[in-house]
Amino acid sequence: MGEKIFDCLVLGGGPAGMSAALYAKRGNIDVAIIDTNTLGGQPVNYLEIENYLGFPLIEGWELAEKFEEHINKFNIQKFTNEEIQSIDLISDIKTIKTLKDTYKARTVIVATGAKSAKLGIRGEAEFLGKGVSYCAVCDGAFYKDKEVVVIGGGNAAVEEGIYLTKFAKKVYIMHRRDELRADKIVQKRAFENNKIEFIFDSIPLEIQGEKRVEKLIYKNVKTDDKKELNIQGVFPYIGFSPNVELINGQIIQDEKGFIRVDENMRTSEVGVFAAGDVRKTPLRQVITAVSDGAVAGMSAVRYLEEVDMLIKEGALKA
């Protein structure tokens, strides 16, 4: 990119990032999106989305495709499949170095999203791709007529558990409490599905097997009884952790690493905004990510307008 300085770089091309870029571009600033993958973000891996207003039922990848078509209409620049080496959010001019190039900008919107949280038990890393999967949509078909266990009690665990019954002959859903966190409508569908068996009050301890997953050792937290489950697949769906590895320490984050922002999506660092799943928020949905992105994009535009005004008045140096 040489010495080009963008008005705004959006880190992450999921729903929050695409929405932020759209609002920034429509605010007439020079904006580009950088992503380590293709655009789309997490919805690409979601099955069906039925709570995005205006689309009673749409597949995740299809909604992501619609978002991308929309931003393409506004000719927003995209740098995809970038391997990011370092991020400097502290200097006046922010810098993102990737294996391919160095990008500079006056503002940055962090919309890097979140990734599946790990169980942190023995066997989890060892059997990744050999029976441990964080994506039922991607890997479900490998479990035809097999038995699998999903860990977690939220919407993701229960929805993905239902999805896995299309392939597996039996799906256990193991939850650490005796009450699910998932929406009631999702719970009802799962309770009515005779391929699903719930194991409540239980936590996984260890995944075992020879070359692939063969069993899960778990414990009932009320009785302390240890038990074994013969399964060929383990799907942990226990929430998310933020993608902030290269940002840690530069801006204020909560104890889990989620970025703290104010109502304008401003972070603790001037000229840096955050939107979507990466920020501390009470709800992580496509619709809230898109809404965050809109606020962050507009905030970047307003911030640049103010700075440019001060420069014009001589109160700030260019």
| Chosen residue from 131, 243, 284, 297 binding ligand NAP by CB under 6 A | 284
| Closest approach of ligand NAP to the CB of residue 318, in Å | 43
238 lies in the site for ligand NAP, by CB under 6 A:
yes
* Minimum CB distance to ligand NAP smaller for 17 or for 153: 153
The question of whether 138 is a catalytic residue gets the answer yes
Q: Are 23 and 1 spatial neighbours (Cβ–Cβ below 8 Å)?
A: no
Is residue 181 close enough to count as binding ligand NAP by CB under 6 A? yes
- Is the separation of the CB atoms in 272 and 107 below 8 Å? yes
Give the nearest residue (CB) to ligand NAP.
Answer: 154
Catalytic: which of 7, 8, 35, 139? 139
Under the binding rule (CB under 6 A), the answer on residue 159 touching ligand NAP is: yes
Q: Return the half-sphere exposure (C-beta side, CA atoms, 13 A cut-off) of residue 314.
A: 0
Alpha helix segments (H runs only) across 1-141: 15-26, 60-73, 136-139
Four-CA torsion 45, 49, 51, 54, nearest 10 degrees: 120
**Residue among 19, 2, 29 at smallest CA distance from 271:** 29
Q: Which of 18, 21, 44, 157 binds ligand NAP (CB under 6 A)?
A: 157
Rounded distance, CA 118 to CA 188, Å?
Answer: 27
Q: Is 8 a catalytic residue?
A: no
Q: From the candidates 88, 135, 183, 308, give the one annotated as an active-site residue.
A: 135
Neighbours of 81 (CB within 10 A): 11
| 30 belongs to the catalytic site | no
Q: Which residues bind ligand NAP (CB under 6 A)?
A: 46, 151-157, 159-160, 175-177, 181, 203, 237-240, 283-285
Catalytic annotation, residues: 135, 138-139
